Amino acid sequence: MNVSTTTTTPRPLDRRSFIKLSALAGGGLVVGTYLRWGASPASAELAPATSANFSPNAFITIAPSGTVSLIAPNSEMGQGAKTALPMIIAEELDVAWDQVTVIQGDLNPAYGRQFAVGSGSTPGNFQPLRQAGATARAMLVEAAAQTWNVPAGECTTESGAVLHPASRRRATYGELTTKAAALPRPANVTLKNPKDFKLLGTRVPGVDNRKIVTGQPLFGIDQKLPGMVYATYIKCPVFGGRFVSANLDEVKAKPGVRDAFALEGIEGLPSGVAIVADSTWSAFSAAKALRVQWDEGAAAGQDSDEMAKQADALARAAPPAALAPGVKGVEAAYHYPFLAHATLEPQNCTAWFKDGVMEMWAPSQIPASGQGLVTRGLGLPAKNVLVHVTRLGGGFGRRGSNEFSLEVAAMAKKLEGTPVKLTWTREHDFGHDNYRSNGWHYLHAGLDTDGKVVALHDSFVKMEGGPGDMNGGGFPFTAVPGSTVHSSKLPGGVPTGYWRAPGDNGNIWATQSFVDELAHAAGRDPLAFTLDLLAAIPPAPAGGERGRGRGGRAGGFDAEKMTSVLKLATERAGWGRTRPRGEGQGLAITHTNNAYVAIVADVKVSQDGELAIQKLTAVVDAGQIVNLSSAESQVQGAMLDGISAAWFQKLTIKGGAAAQTNFDQYPQLRMNQSPPVVDVHFIKSAAAPTGLGEPGLPAAAPAVCNAIFAATGKRIRTLPFAGESLQWS
C-alpha cells in the first residue's frame, strides 16, 4: 500500500490571486455541502481564472491543463488535515495525486463549520468529501459520453481521465472542463466501494513538509505587512484582575515604542495595557519597565494546596455504599494537576483596520470564534471582519478560544490604517492559558471471593467550568452493575478549557490505573482481568456508535471492538513473558472520539529509580485510515504527549495566578527519554473514519504507570510522577 509522491515548493498565494480563485469558486456550480481541504502536494501554480475552468462546487477547480485546485478551509496544526482531506476527494474524483494543488481557504460561510477541534475534521467530512468528488467525476464522465455519443455507463475513469474501453478513446479532465461546466449537477451519484480505493490508506507526505523544513512563512507568527507595527498586551497575572493605572508615559519613552495605552470596557476583553513598537523585541523589552496597579479581585485567594483540601472534603461528603459481608474493599485516591497547552508557537494574531473593515490573519482552530469576539466587542458587522487562516504552531485545543483576535483588533481599530501584529510573551502564554482542569478520583471497589468486581464507586472532583466530567463513568463502570459516580465541582476562578482528549486525558489515567490495581488485589493477570470486565458489558445498542465516545460509556461502546484491539496489542507486545525484577509491562485501554485504543508499555527501572520506557505498542481501530503516514504519526505523537504530561508537567496556582510561566518550570519529554520503539498497528476497516488526533493520548500514561508497578511494586497515584521515588531493592 505504499505510494511514492512528489512534492514541489508551492508559490505563495497573494491577495489578488486569492480573490481571483475565490470569485471563480463562488461563481461555479455549488454542491449542497461544505468541505474542508488542505495545501499543495504537487504544484502551487493556480488554475487560471477563466470560463474554461470546471468548478463543480465552491472547493474544486479543474483547469484545461488538468490541474485540480482544492480550497482548504480547515486549520492545519500538525494533525495532517491539509493532506488527508484532499486525499478523500482525490480518491472519489479519481485524479492522480501529483495533479492536485491545494490552497488554504479563509473564513467563509460557504465552507460551513470550519472547526478543527475534537478530532472531528476527517469524520465530519468523510462522506461530504466523497460525495463532492464523486459528483465531479460523474459530470466529467457525462461530458465525455456526450462528446463521444456513447452511454455514460460504458465509460470509466483513471488518473484524471475518462476512458471508453470499447472504442479505446480517452479524454483528460482538463480537455472536458468546458463541456462539464455546462452540465447540471446530478441528483445521485455512486460512491466507490472501499475495496477499490487506490489512494486512501496509503502513505502520503504532508503537503507543507517542504515549506516547513525550508523555513517558509506559514504560521501566524510569520505574517508581515507593509508598514506593520508590533505589539504585546499585558493583563493582570491574577485571573480576572482589572487595570487601575500604569506608568504609560515612561513606557512610551522606551526605545522603539510607538505607543502604550490601556484597553478597558470592551466586551469580552480583559482590561490591560497594549504596547506598540517597531519590533516585537522592542515591545517585549518595554513591557519589562511597565508598572501596573491592578485590582486583583476575588480570584487572588485561589491556591492549589487549598483546592486539594477542598477536594478531599467534597469527596468525603459523598461516600460509597457499605460493602456486603465477605466483600474485600479496595480504595485509592488519584490526582492529576492543571496543565498548560504550551504550544510551541505562542498566541499571536495580525489585524489591519481600514475603511471600516477589520482584516485579520489568525492561527485559530475556530476562526469564526475570533470573528464573533471582534464583532461583539468592537461593534463591527460580521461581513466587515475578514479572517485569513494561517497554519498553527500547535493547537491541542488552546487555539479554539481566540482572545488574541480581539486584543489585536482593538489595537488595530485604535491605530486605524496601520497593520498590527500581536505576539504574546511566553510568560503571558503560560499565565493566561485556558488550562486542563485538575482532578481528583476517590475510587472504592469491592471484590468477591472469586476476585470479581461487585461494587465500584468514584467520588470525582474537578474545577468548575470547562470539560472533563465523568458523564456516567464509562469503562469500567459500565461493566459493574450498580456502580456509581458522584461528581463535585471546586469554585471557579481559574480559566479552564479543552486540552487534547478533553476529560479522558486525566480520567482514563485514574480509572485504568485503578483497574490494574484491582487486578493485582484480586491476584489476577491484568489482561485476563480486563477481558473479563469487557465481557460483562452488554452489547452496543443497534444503530451504531453515538457521540464522542468518551472513555467507553454506555450508548456507543462496542466491547467486542475493544477486546479485539486489546488482544492484538498484547499479542504484538509479547504480554505475559517472564521478566526480571526492575522490568515490567503495563496495559491500558480507551474509547476516545469513537476510536478504540489499547496500549502496552515496556519499562525498565534501575534500582536507584531511573526510568527507561523501552517500548510502546498500540493497536487502534479508527475505521478507514485515510493517510497511513499521518495516522501513525498522530498516534505516536499523542502517546508521547500523554507520557510527557504524566511524567513531568504540572501547573500550580498561587495567589490566583500561574506559578509556572516558562519551559524551565514546565519540562517537556526529551528525545533521550522517549521510547526507542513506538509500534502502532491499525485494525483494517471499511467503516467511516473516527477521530485520530487525540485517541492515542489517554491510555499511554496509565500503561506506563502500570508497567512501573509491575517493575517496582510502586503505584503512581499522583501526577506528574517525576518527583516520585522509583527506587527498589
The tens digit of pLDDT for each residue in 669-720 reads 999 999 999 999 999 999 999 999 999 999 999 999 999 999 999 999 999 9
Report pLDDT digits (tens) over 588-615: 999 999 999 999 999 999 999 999 999 9
Report pLDDT digits (tens) over 614-672: 999 999 999 999 999 999 999 999 999 999 999 999 999 999 999 999 999 999 999 99
CATH number at residue 38: 3.30.365.10
Bridge partners of residue 486, in order along the sequence: 459
**Same domain membership, residue 260 and residue 202:** no
Q: What is the distance between the alpha carbons of residues 615 and 180, in angstroms, rounded to a whole number? A: 54
Report pLDDT digits (tens) over 307-332: 999 999 999 999 999 999 999 999 99
**Same domain membership, residue 174 and residue 239:** no
Q: Is 260 helix (H, G, I), strand (E, B) or coil?
A: strand
More reliable by pLDDT, 60 or 444: 444
pLDDT at 349 over 90: yes
Asked if residue 458 lies in contact with residue 441, where contact means CB atoms within 8 angstroms, the answer is yes
Tell which of 166, 193, 213 closes a domain.
Answer: 213
Q: What is the pLDDT of residue 128?
A: 85
Residue 7 placed within a domain: no
Residue 128: half-sphere exposure toward Cβ, Cα within 13 Å? 20
277 Rama class: left (phi>0) / alpha (psi -120 to 50) / beta? beta
State the greatest distance between any 2 C-alpha atoms of the chain, in Å, as a whole number: 85
In this prediction, residue 13 has a pLDDT band, given cuts at 50, 70 and 90, of very low
**Same domain membership, residue 156 and residue 228:** no
192 by Cβ neighbours in 10 Å (0-12 / 13-18 / 19+) ranks as middle
**Same domain membership, residue 225 and residue 153:** no
pLDDT at 31 over 50: no
**Same domain membership, residue 191 and residue 126:** yes
Least confident stretch, 20-34, 245-259, 656-670 = 20-34
- Please tell me whether the peptide bond between 720 and the residue prior to it is cis, using omega within 30 degrees of 0: yes
Q: What is the distance between the alpha carbons of residues 159 and 569, in angstroms, rounded to a whole number? A: 37
Query: What is the mean predicted confidence (pLDDT) over 241-245?
Result: 98
Query: At what angle are helices 367-378 and 403-414 packed, to 10 degrees?
Result: 40
Task: Provide the whole-model pTM.
Answer: 0.91
Could you tell me what percent of the chain has a pLDDT over 90? 83
Helix, strand, coil content of the chain in percent (nearest 5): 30, 25, 45
Query: What is the mean predicted confidence (pLDDT) over 72-84?
Result: 89
pLDDT at 296 over 80: yes
Least confident stretch, 72-86, 447-461, 474-488 = 72-86
CA distances from 412 to 222, 234, 236, 263, 347 (A): 18, 16, 21, 12, 17
Residue 333 placed within a domain: no
Q: What is the distance between the alpha carbons of residues 328 and 454, in angstroms, rounded to a whole number? A: 10
DSSP 673: G
Backbone dihedral angles phi then psi of residue 258, each to the nearest 5 degrees: -90, -40
pLDDT at 33 over 60: no
Residue owning grid cell 476527517 = 122
**Same domain membership, residue 281 and residue 242:** yes
Report pLDDT digits (tens) over 457-507: 999 999 998 788 887 789 999 999 999 999 999 998 999 999 999 999 999
199 lies in which domain range? 15-213
Q: What is the distance between the alpha carbons of residues 530 and 682, in angstroms, rounded to a whole number? A: 21
Could you tell me what percent of the chain has a pLDDT over 70? 91
Residue 101 placed within a domain: yes
**Same domain membership, residue 634 and residue 515:** yes
For the chain, how many structural domains are there in total?
Answer: 3
DSSP 192: P
More reliable by pLDDT, 475 or 58: 475
Which amino acid, residue 667?
Answer: P
**Same domain membership, residue 170 and residue 109:** yes
**Same domain membership, residue 80 and residue 148:** yes
Q: What is the pLDDT of residue 51?
A: 60
Bridge partners of residue 262, in order along the sequence: 273
Q: What is the pLDDT of residue 74?
A: 86
CB neighbour list of residue 182: distance below 8 Å, 6 or more residues apart: none
Q: What is the pLDDT of residue 59?
A: 79
Residue 324 placed within a domain: no
pLDDT at 19 over 60: no
Tell which of 178, 213, 248 closes a domain.
Answer: 213
**Same domain membership, residue 171 and residue 270:** no
Report pLDDT digits (tens) over 204-235: 999 999 999 999 999 999 999 999 999 999 99
Residue 238 placed within a domain: yes
Q: How many CB atoms lie within 10 A of CB 169?
A: 14
Q: What is the pLDDT of residue 6?
A: 27
More reliable by pLDDT, 527 or 46: 527
Q: What is the distance between the alpha carbons of residues 180 and 173, in angstroms, rounded to a whole number? A: 9
Q: What is the pLDDT of residue 262?
A: 98
Tell which of 184, 213, 242 closes a domain.
Answer: 213
Range list of β-strands (E), 519-637: 583-592, 595-605, 611-621
Q: Residue 516's closest CA among 715, 237, 719?
A: 715
Residue 382 placed within a domain: yes
Q: What is the pLDDT of residue 541?
A: 64
Cell representation of residue 195 = 475495496
In this prediction, residue 50 has a pLDDT band, given cuts at 50, 70 and 90, of low
Residue owning grid cell 467525476 = 137
**Same domain membership, residue 228 and residue 183:** no
Residue 727 placed within a domain: no
Q: What is the pLDDT of residue 702?
A: 98
Q: How many CB atoms lie within 10 A of CB 686?
A: 11
CB neighbour list of residue 403: distance below 8 Å, 6 or more residues apart: 268, 269, 270, 347, 373, 432
Q: Is 340 helix (H, G, I), strand (E, B) or coil?
A: coil
Residue 492 placed within a domain: no
Q: Across all residues in the chain, what is the average pLDDT?
A: 90
Q: What is the distance between the alpha carbons of residues 471 and 614, in angstroms, rounded to a whole number? A: 35
**Same domain membership, residue 682 and residue 601:** yes
Query: What is the mean predicted confidence (pLDDT) over 1-22?
Result: 34
